[in-house]
Structure formats: structure tokens, C-alpha cells
Structure 1
Amino acid sequence: MINVLSIQSHVVFGHAGNSAAVFPMRRLGINVWPLNTVQFSNHTQYGHWTGSAIDAQQMSDLVDGMGAIGALPRCDAVLSGYLGAPEQAEAVIDIVRAVKAANPHARYFCDPVMGTADGCSVAPGIEAFLVENMPEVADVLMPNHGELQRLVGREIETTEEAVIACREVLRRGPALMLVKHLLDRNSPADRFNMLVVTPDEAWVAQRPLYPFARQPVGVGDVTSAVFVARLMLGDPLRHALEHTLAAVNAVVKTTWDAGRYELEIVAAQDQIARPREWFDAWAVDTV
């Protein structure tokens, strides 16, 4: 059994952070150890929420407790997402080092959540810390388009420019990058693009973009979760991308068909494991 330590937010109502990521990984056969960085009533794009971040020292203490019972050598991967404070980001790096000391084969997947202008709120200092530190630590980095732009400090308008930007970040340390939502000025407006890049490969794929009045939150968290699961289960890179895109499409389409705002993750669970629709990826030539 593959074990993933998932360090993300938790919402009591709805699906974001671990509340969006844990179930898909488990449905795919991955054992998940959730470590919740915050406990919120609901995600922040509602405009009102209650709750708080846990203390960074408590995060470290919880992992130390796992180490004390001999669990850390069984940890195959760490996934981090939404963090409530820069001190939590520092704690994540310490946790990754502790896990890798116990299991040198463990991989660190970083979803560098930096916040958005349309309502995803992160604490001051988080973005700078992620940009300055996480590429040197992460084995796999999973930004969205805006986060990739912030990682390289410039605008990106095409898939080819995104591949070049990803490889610039790869030179800082990661072996692989997933761009969870890629914006391409040449892509049809009704398509949603995803991109994976290594030093030697680049694959892009598209699914439909459903015209929600407001886009559901947690799609990126489901995306990261499924991608981590498929890679840890041994999928080749292209297949991991295609399964991730198809599974996320199933979740979003089920949500759209139901007329919901919160993701219908449980209703779409069988298609997370065995998607009915598939979207073939194609190689990107940047020469």
C-alpha cells in the first residue's frame, strides 16, 4: 500500500484542500495521512469563513509523533497545498526532510497555492516564500498558470512559453512540473488546458471548460491529488496526465449536470477511478 502524507487545508463544509484531495486518492487505492494546516468552516471564496490555522510547531509535533511510532519509513510521498502562514511553509520543508531521512525514496509534491484576485486568500508572505524556496525542495511542482508566472516573474501567453518557463523552474530542482490550468491565447475559449513538463518531455491535453456562473473551488486540489496518485501507482507521465484530466472532467461535469457549486466528488467517484471520457495528450515542440 502506498502512503501519502497530505498537508493541506480542511473545510468542514464543501470541498477544498484535503476535503477535496483525500477522497480521490483513497478511491484510487492510495492510503492518505491527512495533516490539516487550517480548519475553516468553508472555503474563502464565499467571502466569509470562520476558523484558523494550526500552529506550525503543532504540525511538526504531529509528524514527530508519527516518527516516534515508526511510521515515517512507510511514507512514500508528501503532498502540500494551501498553507495558512509562512511558518507553516517552513514546517513543511522540515517535515519533508524528516520523511526523506526516514525513507530516501519518498517524493515531495508541492502545490504552491499563492492566492488569486477572485477570492482565494492566503496569508502575507506565503507567495514570496513559495517562489523563493519550494523549487529547490520539491520533486514535483504543480502550479496553475498564475503561479507559474509568479515563479518565473513574467507573463506567459502560449503553451510553448509555458514549457520554456517550466524548464527554467526545473533547473532549480524539480524533476517534473504539472501546470494544472494553462491559459493559451491560441486555445479555444471553451477548452481547459493542462500541461506536464520534464527536461525531456512536454505533453498538453484539453477538456471542456464548463460555463459556470462562478467556477467551483477545489478543482486544482482534486487535480493534484489524482496526478499524485497516478504517478505513485506507476503510470507513465502521459497516461498520468490523461487520467488526471479525465477524472477531473468527470467531477466537474457531474457538478455542472447537477447544477451545483460545490464539487460532486462522491457522486463522480467511479469515474475518478475509471473515467468514461478520455482526452488524448499531444507532445509540445518548442524548437
Structure 2
Amino acid sequence: MEHRVLSIQSHVVRGYVGNKSATFPLQVLGFEVDSINSVQFSNHTGYAHWKGQVLTAEELNVLYEGIKLNEVNRYDFILTGYSRDMSFLETVVDIIQELKAANPNLTYVCDPVMGDQNAMYVPENLLPVYRDKVVPLADILTPNQFEAELLTGRKIRTEKDAIEVMDLLHQMGPKTVVLTSTELPSKQGDQFLVALGSQKIVKADGTNTCQKIRINIPKVDAVFVGTGDLFAAMLLAWTHEHPKDLKAACEKTVSVMHHVIMRTMTYAKEAAGPGKRPSPAQLELRMVQSKADIENPVIVVEAEVL
């Protein structure tokens, strides 16, 4: 069976972010990936210089129209990430609705990229579009803590708050919600970041059950770009592999991330030299070198069922 993904995200010529971060790992795992690049930049914006173009809503429509005219617009998955224009995002919504109508079994994985650490890095007028139009269409949602708070209007200060926020997000539409990073303290100490997940499952008898998990992710002292895009892509792949086992899907997803990040860190330190902080170029994810880990990740991070 061929599984085809439509991925609408940013693109960089050099390095790994957006579609560059998602496409190769999905292809390695056997998915066909059709990419629409919301922006095309020379490199990610963490470098000293960057140049490029932004795709408009009209240009997105033209691309989609071409796919449609050839009658090759049937997809099993949609994956969306960074978008910084309201009309563009609304056009994405129209495309998702049309593709879901054509294939009711389509799975939409949404990374609602809006901000982090209490700061928005997209225009504020995107929030109501995400909240009222995008999230209700999503099957799998991967916000960080700040984005989950924005979408629900609720602050997360405790694990109980986080569980309530995930339940509110379920009520908005998505069956699977993963808070990819939170500021909650880890029981394993400061060296770990806490992620939480929740999955609603309809049993054979029609009743609902819900699996909730906690994951302690080892922290690494460096700024990586494209890791969130990789996370959403791997969650798409591994939830397809384990549709009713969020624990297994998240363990494989986070373990892939860990292997890629550790390999990247080893390379970056060697390239920078003793005592020097690696540059953004040296910290680009070592994706190709991690092919074996992407295909068959050794589980190094275990999730705990709550």
C-alpha cells in the first residue's frame, strides 16, 4: 500500500527545517511525500543572513489547482507546520477540507507553530484561524505548552492543568494531542524536559477510552532548529504504525529525535573545536547520517502511562 503525504511547510536551501526536516525521514520510512513550500529561504533565520521568497495564498492555490487538474489530489496524510500569513493559512484550511471530503480516512497532523516561551513569532491574527478553523480539522496536534495555552486560553502550571488543557483540545477536534515540551518540573531532575500526550480511542463496542502518557526527554545544551518539524513527521509515521498505542509511537518518535540530536551534537562539537560554541551551520541536524536510527530507532526514552 502506498501512503502519500501532502506536507505544507517552510523550505530552506541549506540545512534542515520545515519540509527539509520532514521529507527525508518520512521517505526513509516508506511514505511518498508531496511538498508545498510556504517559504523558500537560503537557510533558517537563526543565521546572521538569510534571503528568500514567501509563497502567497494565490500561489498556493495555483499549485494545488495543478495537482487537482491532473486528478492526483488524493492523500492519506496532511502535515502542516510554520505559516505566517492569515490568507495563506485560510487557503490551507480550504485545501484540507476538500481533501478530507475526498478521503474521509485522511489523517491531518498539525503543528500549530505560533510561538514559544510566552512570545508569539507569527502575527496575532493567526491565533483565531488556528483555534476556530485549523484545530477542529486536525486529527493529531503537536503544540508546545505556550501554543496549547494560546489555543485554550488556559495556563499550565501543574500536570493536572496540562491534562485538562489536553482534554479541552480533544473537545476542539483532535483525537491525539502531544504537548511536545512543557515547563513542568521533571521528577528525574533539571536535566529533563517533560512532554505529555493524550489519545482518545474508540473501542469496538463504540465506547471511548483515553490513554495519557508522560515522557521525560533528556535536555541538550544547544539551540537546534527543525526538531519540532522532525517530531511532527515522526509522530505521523509512528502513530500510523501504532494507531492505538500512543506510548509506543511517542517512544519511537522521541528516540529518533534523541539519536539525531546526539549525533548532531557530537559532530558540532568536533567541528567547532575545544571550548568553542558551535555555529548555527554546525548545529544543522545530521539527518542523512541518522538514516538507520530513523528506520529502526533503539528505544532510549520510555514513556510512562498516567
TM-score, normalised to structure 1, is: 0.91
Q: Percent identity?
A: 31
Match 1:268 to one of 286, 290, 295:
290
The letter of the residue matching 2:238 is: R
C-alpha deviation, 1:154, in angstroms: 3.0
* Separation of aligned partners in 1, 2:292 and 2:119: 31
* Separation of aligned partners in 1, 2:104 and 2:294: 30
Provide the aligned length of Structure 1 versus Structure 2.
Answer: 281
The letter of the residue matching 2:214 is: V
C-alpha deviation, 1:277, in angstroms: 4.0
- SS of 2:83's equivalent in the other structure is coil
Say whether residues 1:54 and 2:55 are aligned partners.
yes
Map of 1:135-214 to 2, 5 A cutoff?
A: 135-187=135-187, 188-199=189-200, 200-212=210-222
Please, which runs of 5 or more residues in structure 2 have no aligned partner?
201-209, 269-281
Q: Is the 8 A contact 2:260 2:287 kept in 1?
A: yes
Q: Is the 8 A contact 1:167 1:198 kept in 2?
A: no
* Separation of aligned partners in 1, 2:97 and 2:257: 31
Deviations 1:141-169 (A, max 9, x none): 11012111111223212333211101111
Where does residue 250 of structure 1 map in the other structure? 259
* Separation of aligned partners in 2, 1:102 and 1:38: 27
Match 2:305 to one of 279, 283, 286:
283
The letter of the residue matching 2:137 is: V
* Separation of aligned partners in 2, 1:41 and 1:69: 31
Say whether residues 1:97 and 2:97 are aligned partners.
yes
* Separation of aligned partners in 1, 2:216 and 2:24: 24
Match 1:233 to one of 241, 260, 279:
241
Q: Is the 8 A contact 1:5 1:78 kept in 2?
A: yes
Q: How large is the RMSD of aligned CA atoms in angstroms?
A: 2.0
C-alpha deviation, 1:9, in angstroms: 0.5
* Separation of aligned partners in 1, 2:151 and 2:120: 18
Please, which runs of 5 or more residues in structure 1 have no aligned partner?
none
TM-score, normalised to structure 2, is: 0.86
The letter of the residue matching 2:284 is: E
C-alpha deviation, 1:120, in angstroms: 8.3
* Separation of aligned partners in 1, 2:155 and 2:225: 24
Q: Is the 8 A contact 1:72 1:99 kept in 2?
A: yes
The letter of the residue matching 1:281 is: A
